[in-house]
Amino acid sequence: MSLAQKAMRIAVLAAMVATFGGCNFAPKYQRPSIETPASFKEAGDWKVAQPRDAVKRGKWWEIFGDAELNGLVAQIDISNQTVRLAEAQYQQARALVQQARAGLFPSVTANAAATRSGTGSGSGNRAGGVNNDYTLTLDASWEVDLWGRVRNTVSSSVASAQASAADLENARLSAQAELALDYIQLRALDSQRQLLDDTVTAYERSLVLTRNRYAAGVAAKVDVVQAETQLKSTQAQAIDIGVQRAQLEHAIAILIGKPPSQFALAPAPLKTAMPSIPLMLPSEMLERRPDIAGAERRVAAANAQIGVAKAAFFPQLTLSGSYGYASSSFPTWLTAPSRIWAIGPSVVQSVFDAGLRRGLTNQAIAAYDANVASYRQTVLSAFKDVEDNLAALRILEQEAKVQEEAVQAARQSVNLTINQYKGGTVSFLNVVVVQAAQLNNERTAVGILGQQLGAAVALVKALGGGWDAHELAGAGTPTR
């Protein structure tokens, strides 16, 4: 048996060991245990939406039935810079997977060189001369993954890429929810502005009535002053709404990737109806929130890194080979007599590192524990988000009913008091008081509606917005 054949058998044997008998020092991964309640405390007598998939996958905002909102949210994927940043980070994570997987295969390099060298003649030296050297070789090397270092590195990179994909979905969901909230608040302000404008019109009529009564001698000057004060105060309130509305409009512009100076929304009252939101079980929610999925994938990545750190305690086996031609004469360079080759394994083992490998292993274990804690905290925060918004919707629904009764009573009170004022049985101050009460109750009712819709948006976001963790299955595919 020739030396080449022996070396080849050694290489094949090492490859078989790596393929079939390689070790893996990463702990067997299991999703960290968490205490999952059987149901949400604040759900109470929550009306389950029919069908259960009322929140559309991907386009959950369409449940609000606002075409303008739909158009704005559609621009987030195209122009939102935060989403673009998350997408670029995801692509970077996929490229890291490609880099890690390259370690599973041999690396091959080609080398061609032609050199001309010479030595001078002198005391103590041989006769000088000129030498030509021509070489052409292919060199290959492959780390035999006996201890799972490369495989665990790949696993960690894949899990990290999946976590990055979840981060992208979370960034997209957050931007969509923020835009929906800003849009609803802006439309609620438009409704309040319309209410104030209508009130200003009514107060102008009251001022005309008071002035006529003053001119007829049946009303005092103070009634006119009070009517003017009430009118101007309400006009000021209407103008003041413009500040917050402008800020919300600017925020929406940024969310869709436009300069505020190039974006405007025409005023329109809030017409969005309360949607039916399907409520899932707490255990189902764990598969629906991208931030939870991202935190869990980081735990898996940290688990694989423990295996990478532990593999450093064992020898590193590398197979290398070279084949090519070398000659000092160009005509005979690429001929059989100039052929050269080499093949063989090499083993490297760190003998003393002053505790470096132990420190790296302890660091990997601590990083795993930190990611487990982060995952569990993310789950707890998710449960809190759902409970908060369920409570908000339940309480706001009760408040809205009572407030509507207050609005109806205030309107009736205004009509009765104005008739009494016209009959001369009460002063205009009584009219001012009941009209102010009506305006406050009307504005409060609009504000409650806006809060209800905002809580609905927040609840949909807390439930994951129609996303599903199974979408991460192919997220670790490397870029080409």
Walk across the sheet containing 316-327 and list its strands: 107-119, 129-144, 316-327, 339-348
User: Which tens digit of pLDDT belongs to each residue from 427-478?
Assistant: 889 999 999 999 999 999 999 999 999 999 999 999 998 787 778 887 877 7
Q: Please, which residues bridge with residue 326 across strands? A: 135
**Looking at residue 51, what is its pLDDT?**
41
Cα 304 to Cα 302: distance, rounded to the nearest angstrom: 5
Calculate the CA 219 to chain-centre distance: 64
Mean pLDDT of 230-253: 96
**Looking at residue 234, what is its pLDDT?**
95
> What's the domain count of the chain?
1
Q: What are phi and psi of 345, to 5 degrees?
A: -90, 160
Burial class (CB in 10 A: 0-12, 13-18, 19+), 357: middle
The tokens describing 378, both together, are 């993310």
Mean pLDDT of 421-427: 87
Q: Is residue 383 a contact partner of residue 400, using CB atoms and an 8 Å limit?
A: no
pLDDT bucket at 237, cuts 50 / 70 / 90:
very high
Cα 227 to Cα 205: distance, rounded to the nearest angstrom: 10
3 pLDDT above the threshold of 50: no
321 pLDDT above the threshold of 60: yes
Q: What are phi and psi of 53, to 5 degrees?
A: -95, 40
**Looking at residue 55, what is its pLDDT?**
46
Residue at 370 is within a domain: yes
Q: Is the peptide bond before 278 cis (omega within 30 degrees of 0)?
A: no
Instruction: Identify the CATH number of the domain in which residue 347 sits.
Output: 1.20.1600.10
Cα 124 to Cα 322: distance, rounded to the nearest angstrom: 37
98 pLDDT above the threshold of 60: yes
Q: Please, which residues bridge with residue 323 across strands? A: 138, 341
**Looking at residue 479, what is its pLDDT?**
62
Count of positions (residues) in the chain: 480
The tokens describing 218, both together, are 């049946």
The tokens describing 117, both together, are 């060298």
Residue at 85 is within a domain: yes
**Looking at residue 59, what is its pLDDT?**
86
Calculate what percentage of the chain has a pLDDT beyond 70.
90
**Looking at residue 473, what is its pLDDT?**
80
Cα 427 to Cα 436: distance, rounded to the nearest angstrom: 15
User: Which tens digit of pLDDT belongs to each residue from 45-59?
Assistant: 655 444 444 444 568
Cα 158 to Cα 173: distance, rounded to the nearest angstrom: 23
Taking the CA of residue 140 as centre, how many other CA atoms within 13 Å lie in the half-sphere pointing to its CB?
A: 13
pLDDT bucket at 276, cuts 50 / 70 / 90:
confident
Burial class (CB in 10 A: 0-12, 13-18, 19+), 265: middle
5 pLDDT above the threshold of 60: no
Mean pLDDT of 177-186: 96
**Looking at residue 13, what is its pLDDT?**
55
Strand 316-327 to 107-119 pairing: unpaired
Residue that wins the pLDDT comparison between 350 and 47: 350
118 pLDDT above the threshold of 50: yes
Cα 155 to Cα 149: distance, rounded to the nearest angstrom: 10
Question: In whole angstroms, how large is the CA radius of gyration of the chain?
Answer: 38
Residue that wins the pLDDT comparison between 473 and 167: 167
Residue at 479 is within a domain: no
Closest by CA to 107, choosing from 322, 383, 324, is 322
317 pLDDT above the threshold of 60: yes
**Looking at residue 400, what is its pLDDT?**
95
Residue at 64 is within a domain: yes
**Looking at residue 53, what is its pLDDT?**
43
Q: By residue range, what is the domain housing residue 269?
A: 3-105+132-472
Residue that wins the pLDDT comparison between 342 and 42: 342
Q: Mean of the per-residue pLDDT values for the chain?
A: 88
The tokens describing 323, both together, are 């084949």
Residue at 234 is within a domain: yes
The tokens describing 5, both together, are 């054949």
Closest by CA to 19, choosing from 150, 132, 124, is 150
Residue that wins the pLDDT comparison between 22 and 213: 213
The tokens describing 457, both together, are 């948006």
Residue at 116 is within a domain: no
324 pLDDT above the threshold of 50: yes
Mean pLDDT of 107-126: 78
Residue at 316 is within a domain: yes
Three-state SS at 27: coil
Q: Is residue 111 a contact partner of residue 82, using CB atoms and an 8 Å limit?
A: no
39 pLDDT above the threshold of 90: no
**Looking at residue 376, what is its pLDDT?**
96
CA angle 432, 436, 439 (to 5 degrees): 140
Residue at 90 is within a domain: yes
**Looking at residue 273, what is its pLDDT?**
77
**Looking at residue 11, what is its pLDDT?**
54
Helices (H) and strands (E) in the chain, counts: 10, 4
361 pLDDT above the threshold of 50: yes
Mean pLDDT of 174-196: 96
